[in-house]
């Protein structure tokens, strides 16, 4: 198990390295850093001077190695727009995004587990179809659109919740719902499929033959076995959550990493973008690893062996 | 000691299929008394398992159960609420399944699964239930029972798992034990051990047992009464000795001819076989369902088959006089 984890950590490092290289080159290809620094309409002489000062006239590979070396030493550079340390900037925004990620995941599971279980227990009934409809709407509706509907209903019509900002926990409610509903359908369908399979298993018949009440058969004997693949999906969905949070945080002006990513793209703030992408990719790989470990722990056949 | 535990009269199970209703069990009747072992015998697909699942109310959703009378210790199971059925299942009526490899939940320790029924029905504490579990694991011949409680099903062999299943079924001291081919999935050497264990426990605890099997060798050793099923019907039923010595139905005779008997079967000689396959059970079935495979069949076999009976309670369904 330890060897396995170490191997996976090594792989995570390689992935992070590859992602950093790809983002570095793609970002440089997408725009001129010197122009971003000097601003539109700068003189050619100024641009040349900036290129020389920041070493932008060197080959891209040399620049990348230089950046990587600094990054490894803990120097993430300075934001071109905010004029502060990138590390400071990112660390300030990270908690907001992590909180949103977990509340959205929690909300997604909160609706996906009961709906998935109900849909499986009453498969092919109207309950199943209703759950399917809820899932299809969640998957088909763009999350920014759903977010705007939420704003219209809860902020403008009912005036219950603030439209935007990130001061209090009230500001997290709509982003959580919008982002959670966006990832819930995948969980729901997986739980439904898993439960349908597990409910026809022999050990479910054994549990019923013992005279256990239905809720115990479903939640103790069936759900525990159906939930194993869900844990693996959680990592993938957390990736969606991180991506989705860029859109959702921007709509609600929630001051997190996603909103910062949006701002840095708008202002061509290359150092910030670079670090955010790197951070998100590392987070994603680590989450995948964590879900694999959780998976092993949930299935005693893997754990004990 | 002659109290009737299970009384089945006119039990039928129909399964909805795209081609129409499949009559898996057709109008069968039997009863089991306390301390008695009834063996249900027949080929795969003859409705043995469906019968047992129907009694335990564990039929799949597509199947429907009808019965003129289905009583457990004089209580009408047909009218019992789901709650009442749950109260009986695992407490006073228990079941052992064919596949010990899949009948235990892989996610929980066997201790966890053993104590469940006891805690459910006896309102017992965890400690009391574990004590009872150890006691029963001991009884079914599992060494170092206390340590076993912490093990997962995948850590046990098939034979051990079936012993665990038996212990699990006996946790609450049931009046009726239904064992659905409990040894089919096991090695031959283990089969004998498990059967002896079942027979010993049945005698010791005085429970009524319904043992489902397709192995007549087993039946001859442990059954008090035998019911032979064919195509969803009981074609012959009677006391074991009478049925083996004097089979009345050609199908029963065919089954008996399939078993080699030391001393009587010639070494290297051919064993009996029954040609043909079981008829489709979908749609209306008329006359004797065995007539397509029966060497004694005549035109009259297509007519309705009467139920015949001798004084010692030996019954059979064959229109011919002395076909065997």
State the DSSP string of A11-22.
Answer: HHHHHHHHHHHH
pLDDT of amino acid A303 = 60
Does the beta-carbon distance from B154 to A224 stay under 8 Å? no
Query: What's the pLDDT tens digit per position in B196-244?
Result: 889 999 999 999 999 998 888 888 888 999 999 998 999 999 999 999 8
Q: Where is pLDDT greater, at B110 or A230? A: B110
| Mean pLDDT value of segment A209-236 | 88
Residues on chain A bordering chain B, Cβ-to-Cβ distance under 8 angstroms = 201-203, 205-213, 216, 221, 224-225, 298-301, 304
Of B105, B121, B152, the CB nearest to A211: B121
Lowest mean pLDDT among A27-31, B142-146, B242-246: A27-31
Q: Could you tell me what percent of chain B has a pLDDT over 70?
A: 98
CA distance B268 to B257: 15
User: Is pLDDT of B287 > 90?
Assistant: no
Of A202, A210, A221, the CB nearest to B117: A210
Q: What angle do CA A119, A124, A125 make, to 5 degrees?
A: 80
How far from each other are the two terminal CA atoms of chain A, in whole angstroms? Answer: 10
Q: Which fold has domain A88-304?
A: MetI-like fold (1.10.3720)
Domains of chain B (ranges, CATH numbers): 4-92+176-189+201-262+269-317 (3.40.50.300), 100-171 (no CATH)
| Mean pLDDT value of segment B161-167 | 92
Lowest mean pLDDT among A179-183, A278-282, B225-229: A278-282
User: Is pLDDT of B324 > 80?
Assistant: no
User: Given pLDDT bands bounded at 50, 70 and 90, which one contains residue A305?
Assistant: very low
CB contact burial A134-148 (16+ within 10 A = b; e otherwise): bbeebeeeebeebbe
Q: How far is A221 from chain B (nearest CA, A)?
A: 7
Of B90, B91, B102, the CB nearest to A203: B102
Q: Do B105 and B37 form a contact (C-beta atoms < 8 A)? A: no
User: Is pLDDT of B3 > 60?
Assistant: yes
| Mean pLDDT value of segment B278-285 | 79
Pairing of strands B75-76, B69-72: antiparallel
- Name the average pLDDT for chain B: 88
Q: Where is pLDDT greater, at A74 or B129? A: B129
Instruction: Give CA B266 to chain center in angstroms.
Output: 32
ipTM for the assembly: 0.87
Q: Do A27 and A273 form a contact (C-beta atoms < 8 A)? A: yes
Q: Per-domain residue ranges for chain A?
A: 2-72, 88-304
User: Is pLDDT of B186 > 70?
Assistant: yes
Max mean pLDDT among A52-61, A225-234, B105-114 falls in B105-114
């Amino acid at each position: 198990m330890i060897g396995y984890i170490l191997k996976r950590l090594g792989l995570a490092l390689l992935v992070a390295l590859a992602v950093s290289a790809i983002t570095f080159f793609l970002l440089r290809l997408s725009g001129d850093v010197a122009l971003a620094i000097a601003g539109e309409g700068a003189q050619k002489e100024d641009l040349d001077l900036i290129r020389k000062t920041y070493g932008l006239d060197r080959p891209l590979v040399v620049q990348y190695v230089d950046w990587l070396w600094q990054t490894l030493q803990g120097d993430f550079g300075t934001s071109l727009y905010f004029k502060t340390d990138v590390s400071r900037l990112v660390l300030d925004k990270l908690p907001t995004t992590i909180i949103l990620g977990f509340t959205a995941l929690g909300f997604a599971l909160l609706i996906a587990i009961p709906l998935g279980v109900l849909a499986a227990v009453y498969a092919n009934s109207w309950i199943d179809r209703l759950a399917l409809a809820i899932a299809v709407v969640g998957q088909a509706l763009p999350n920014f659109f759903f977010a705007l509907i939420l704003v219209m209903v809860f902020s403008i019509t009912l005036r219950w919740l603030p439209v935007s900002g990130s001061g209090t926990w009230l500001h997290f409610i709509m982003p959580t719902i919008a982002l959670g509903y966006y990832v819930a359908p995948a969980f729901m369908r997986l739980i439904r499929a898993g439960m349908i399979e597990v409910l026809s298993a022999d050990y479910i018949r054994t549990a019923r033959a013992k005279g256990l009440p239905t809720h115990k058969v479903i939640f103790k004997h069936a759900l525990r076995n159906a939930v194993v693949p869900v844990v693996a999906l959680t990592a993938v969905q957390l990736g969606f959550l991180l991506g989705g949070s860029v859109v959702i945080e921007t709509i609600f002006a929630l001051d997190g990493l996603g909103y910062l990513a949006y701002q840095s793209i708008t202002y061509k703030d290359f150092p910030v973008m670079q670090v955010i992408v790197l951070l998100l990719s590392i987070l994603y790989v680590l989450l995948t690893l964590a879900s694999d470990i959780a998976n092993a722990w949930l299935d005693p056949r893997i754990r004990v062996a | 000691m002659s109290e009737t535990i299970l009384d089945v009269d006119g039990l039928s199970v129909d399964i909805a299929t795209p081609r129409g209703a499949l009559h898996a069990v057709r109008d069968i009747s039997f009863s089991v008394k306390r301390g008695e072992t009834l063996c249900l015998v027949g080929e795969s697909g003859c409705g043995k398992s469906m019968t047992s699942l129907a009694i335990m109310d564990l039929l799949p959703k597509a199947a429907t159960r009808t019965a003129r009378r289905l009583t457990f210790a004089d209580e009408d199971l047909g009218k019992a609420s789901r709650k009442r059925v749950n109260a009986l299942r695992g407490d006073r009526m228990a079941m052992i399944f064919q596949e010990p490899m899949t009948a235990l939940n892989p996610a929980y320790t066997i201790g966890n699964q053993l104590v469940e029924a006891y805690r459910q029905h006896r309102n017992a504490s965890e400690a009391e239930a574990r004590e009872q579990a150890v006691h029963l694991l001991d009884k079914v011949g599992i060494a170092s029972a206390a340590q076993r409680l912490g093990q997962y099903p995948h850590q046990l062999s098939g034979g051990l798992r079936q012993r665990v299943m038996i212990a699990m079924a006996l946790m609450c001291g049931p009046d009726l034990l239904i064992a659905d081919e409990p040894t089919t999935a096991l090695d031959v050497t283990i089969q004998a051990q498990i059967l002896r264990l079942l027979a010993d426990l049945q005698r010791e605890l005085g429970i009524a047992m319904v043992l489902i099997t397709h192995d007549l060798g087993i039946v001859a050793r442990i059954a008090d009464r035998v019911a032979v099923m064919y195509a969803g019907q009981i074609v012959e039923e009677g006391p074991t000795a009478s049925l083996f010595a004097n089979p009345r139905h050609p199908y029963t005779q065919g089954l008996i001819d399939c078993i080699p008997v030391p001393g009587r079967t010639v070494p290297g000689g051919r064993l009996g076989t029954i040609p043909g396959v079981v008829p489709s059970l979908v749609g209306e079935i008329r006359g004797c369902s065995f007539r397509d495979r029966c060497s004694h069949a005549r035109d009259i076999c297509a007519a309705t088959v009467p139920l015949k009976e001798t004084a010692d309670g030996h019954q059979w369904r064959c229109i011919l006089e002395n076909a065997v």
